[in-house]
Chain A
Amino acid sequence: EIVLTQSPGTLSLSPGERATLSCRASQRVSSNYLAWYQQKPGQAPRLLIFGASSRATGIPDRFSGSGSATDFTLTISRLEPEDFAVYYCQQYGGSPSYTFGQGTKLEIK
């Protein structure tokens, strides 16, 4: 099973700043099958990025994904107030199961 480790655990930033979130895999993620989700309290996760760098429908272009193999990054170029949430990475290239990282909490400084 591929284990995903996200860092930092908590990131404290101000609106307007740039956020960089990391996701590291215990082994190579096949075909860069890596997704990112945003989750707000009491809500289901929302898909942001798939294929490491493709934005999902309706996702603002301030969200971008990059990386390959075992190291992936989610960048939010200029934080809006609604971006403060928990972010999860997920790999879907490993068989037989899909796995998620433990999450990064993005909080207002």
Chain B
Amino acid sequence: QVQLQQWGAGLVKPSETLSLTCTVHGGSLSGYHWSWIRQVPGQGLEWIAEINNIGITNYSPSLKSRVTISVDTSKNQFSLKLTSVAAADTAVYYCAREGLKEMWGVFDYWGQGTLVSVSS
């Protein structure tokens, strides 16, 4: 059974960098795409970025200038960095796996979520 375990700082100061990491347990990174998605409390879901095991990336146009997604296959992990954060970046951040073939872009496994607050 695939499980995604994520961690990172829950409080980040304005203008600093948000960093989160997601470890995949019970499965390999290989062959899949892996994404980060966020949700402002009480609001909807926003896709941020995706990466595959060989490092091919795709970013949301609205966040592209501030986001970096990376992968470490030796640790079965992928990570998110979001620079120059502001209060509007306060959200629950989720890591997620995308399915294969016709399910590429469908999020079938999710991490537990990390609430990241941006505040001084």
Contact call B108/A47, Cβ cutoff below 8 A:
yes
Interface pair A56/B110, CB less than 8 Å apart: no
Determine the distance from Cα of A43 to Cα of B107 in the docked complex, in whole angstroms.
Answer: 14
Q: A44-B112, A96-B61 are in contact. Are A103 and B105 (CB under 8 A)?
A: no
The yes or no answer to B60 lying at the interface (CB within 8 A) is yes
**Count the A residues whose beta carbon is within 8 Å of the partner chain — how many?**
23
Number of residue pairs across A and B with beta carbons under 8 Å? Answer: 56
Interface of B is mostly: mixed
Query: Which of chain A's residues have a CB closer than 8 A to the CB of B103?
Result: 50-51
Residue in contact with A50 in the complex, picked from B43, B44, B45, B99, CB distance below 8 Å: B99
Q: Are B45 and A97 in contact (CB under 8 A)?
A: no
Q: Tell me whether chain A's interface is mostly helix, strand or loop, or mixed.
A: loop
Known A97-B47, A100-B45; contact A44-B61, beta-carbon cutoff 8 A: no
- In the assembled complex, which residues on chain A have CB atoms less than 8 Å from the CB atom of B43? 102
- List B contacts of A56 (CB < 8 A): 108
Please give me the residue from chain A that is nearest to B110 by CB atom.
Answer: A44
Residues of A whose CB lies within 8 Å of any CB of B are 1, 33, 35, 37, 44-47, 50-51, 56, 88, 90, 92-93, 96-103
